[in-house]
Amino acid sequence: MKFSTIFLAAAAQVASAHYFFETNIVNGATQTPGKYVRDTTRATKYNPIKFSSNPAGDIRDGSYADGPDIRCNQGAFSNAGRTEVLTVNAGSEVTAKLAYGAKMEHPGPGLVYMSRAPGDNVKAYDGSGDWFKIFEEGVCRQGADFTRDAWCTWGRDTITAKIPANTPNGEYLVRFEHIGIHRSHVNQPEHYTSCLQVKVQNGGNGSPSPTFKLPGGYKDSDPYANFSVYNGYKSFTMPGPAVWNGASNGGGGGEPSNPGNGGGCSAMYGQCGGNGWGGATCCSSGSCKVVNEWYHQCV
């Protein structure tokens, strides 16, 4: 029977790989789901968001990467009022975590964006304003399997980003995203996203840029949506704008951030991990090697 074949294929895919960011971690403690991370109203919460140009049978729960659900996932705004606002110091880290003990086992980038709420009232903000990127991670292990563990996020259940020290005080959405690109070769990237509600304090006077809007900032014609992870390593162009360099004037004088693979990662011979390390865990060139428990270095 045709219908049951489709159903079984979908179930098998779920078992192998889908996931969603359900919660966040504060001082090492996993929070109650939905406390600070907006819950969604999706029929199947772990399903990805795809472009409306994809075959209708591949669209999940009526969510589109070129529609408003790409901001914080389906129905998330309807839960904004009952979601608490986490107070965070600029310069500190925020972490989102997957539900069900799932792991990010699709190849593809991890991305974190922020958008300031009008009137600094994030509980009333739908995410329709400007978004800037604070973190991205792509390939961490270039010599590994490019369809799997070459990607920084492979096998992990969290994405962590530092709120830039120069971020102005105020209320923001922090949008965590993993994009599975295992089907980008047929123009079907899978977007997994959720938003954390934060109030930034002890911040600076930066002017976050460049920015983009959602929907609109991701297009099915973008390089990431037409990329093949098969037949070996190749350079990957990150979706979205460059990571904000933390400057107050939109970039002049700062280190230009790399718009492609490696932006936000540590430079050659820089630190890329170790206990107590709060910086990037990926390398813009070379690869991250464990020197000792406290020091991992890009070599």
Distance CA 108, CA 131 (A): 20
Helix (H) or strand (E) holding 178: strand 170-180
- Which parts of this chain interact with Cu ion (CB under 5 A)? 17-18
Chain centroid, CA 22 distance in Å = 13
Least gap, CB of 46 to Cu ion (angstroms): 8
Paired sense of beta strands 86-89 and 190-201, if any? parallel
Phi, psi dihedral angles at 272 (to 5 degrees): -135, 15
Give 94 or 98: the residue with its C-beta nearer to Cu ion.
98
Give 7 or 269: the residue with its C-beta nearer to Cu ion.
7
Residues present in the chain in total: 299
Report which DSSP code applies to 60: -
Give 187 or 207: the residue with its C-beta nearer to Cu ion.
187
Least gap, CB of 198 to Cu ion (angstroms): 28
Least gap, CB of 20 to Cu ion (angstroms): 10
Q: Output the CA–CA distances (angstroms, integers) from residue 100 to 24, 160, 182, 227, 261, in the order listed.
A: 13, 18, 22, 29, 30
Give 109 or 262: the residue with its C-beta nearer to Cu ion.
109
Contacts of 132 (CB under 8 A, 6+ apart): 113, 114, 115, 208, 209, 210, 211, 241, 244
Give 12 or 290: the residue with its C-beta nearer to Cu ion.
12
CB neighbours (10 Å) of residue 5?
9
Phi, psi dihedral angles at 120 (to 5 degrees): 50, 45
Give 70 or 90: the residue with its C-beta nearer to Cu ion.
70
Give 39 or 105: the residue with its C-beta nearer to Cu ion.
105
Least gap, CB of 229 to Cu ion (angstroms): 13
Contacts of 210 (CB under 8 A, 6+ apart): 132, 241, 242, 244, 250, 251
Least gap, CB of 179 to Cu ion (angstroms): 11
Least gap, CB of 156 to Cu ion (angstroms): 15
Report which DSSP code applies to 194: E
Least gap, CB of 153 to Cu ion (angstroms): 13
